[in-house]
Amino acid sequence: MGYLCACCGCQTSGQRSESFLARSNPNCHAALKLEAKYGVVTGDLVASRRLERIGGRLVRTIQNFQRVCTFKLLDCPRLNAVSLPEGKVYVTRGLYERLTTDDLLAAAIAHELAHIAVQDGMSPRRSRETQLVKELAADARAIQYLNGANIDPHALLDLLQIVSDEQDPAWAKQRIAVLTDRLSTSSLSNAGSYRE
């Protein structure tokens, strides 16, 4: 499984992540494979409801979003989130347990929804640099989604810092720098406006 942020498509240690392979070929029944390999946590009703509540809130605020989404918890200790083109968003138990606030969980889900919105998983495998561009674009779109849901987009930066050890160090550094710059230029217009 790939590492969140770069959700679904990062490379680590020179190997293309399994989540990218699954996302890039929707005909391979990626959801079934992921769920069979890691298992879906079904006994944690609180976590399931939290994922659905936060994911649903984000989906409702995204204009022209053409997918019905489901949100599930994978029984995996790694820090990761995975999206599939048909609208499935998975968060691993390891990541879920580290995301102690709703804003952090919303940041992970918003990033995955950004991949779904532009159907990143439908395109063939690309170069490492192209994948990084997709991650940066998903980060930018996630900021818009978080703002639209009245959630502080700085949570995305906090999320990237939480998972930075789990991804390629050059990617982590570049994504954090770009995101910091984007947030500093947009924060003046949104200061003090967050919360339901």
Report yes or no on 188 lying in a domain: no
Identify the pLDDT of residue 54: 98
Report yes or no on 191 lying in a domain: no
10-residue mean pLDDT profile of the chain (196 residues): values are 37 36 52 90 94 96 89 95 93 96 98 90 72 92 96 96 90 94 74 45
Report yes or no on 154 lying in a domain: yes
Please state, in angstroms and rounded to a whole number, the distance separating the CA atoms of residues 181 and 196.
Answer: 26
Please state, in angstroms and rounded to a whole number, the distance separating the CA atoms of residues 55 and 99.
Answer: 14
Number of domains in the chain: 1
Please state, in angstroms and rounded to a whole number, the distance separating the CA atoms of residues 195 and 129.
Answer: 36
Report yes or no on 104 lying in a domain: yes
Report yes or no on 3 lying in a domain: no
Identify the pLDDT of residue 64: 87
Please state, in angstroms and rounded to a whole number, the distance separating the CA atoms of residues 168 and 20.
Answer: 15
Report yes or no on 193 lying in a domain: no
Report yes or no on 100 lying in a domain: yes
Q: How many CB atoms lie within 10 A of CB 103?
A: 21
Give the domain range for residue 160. 11-181
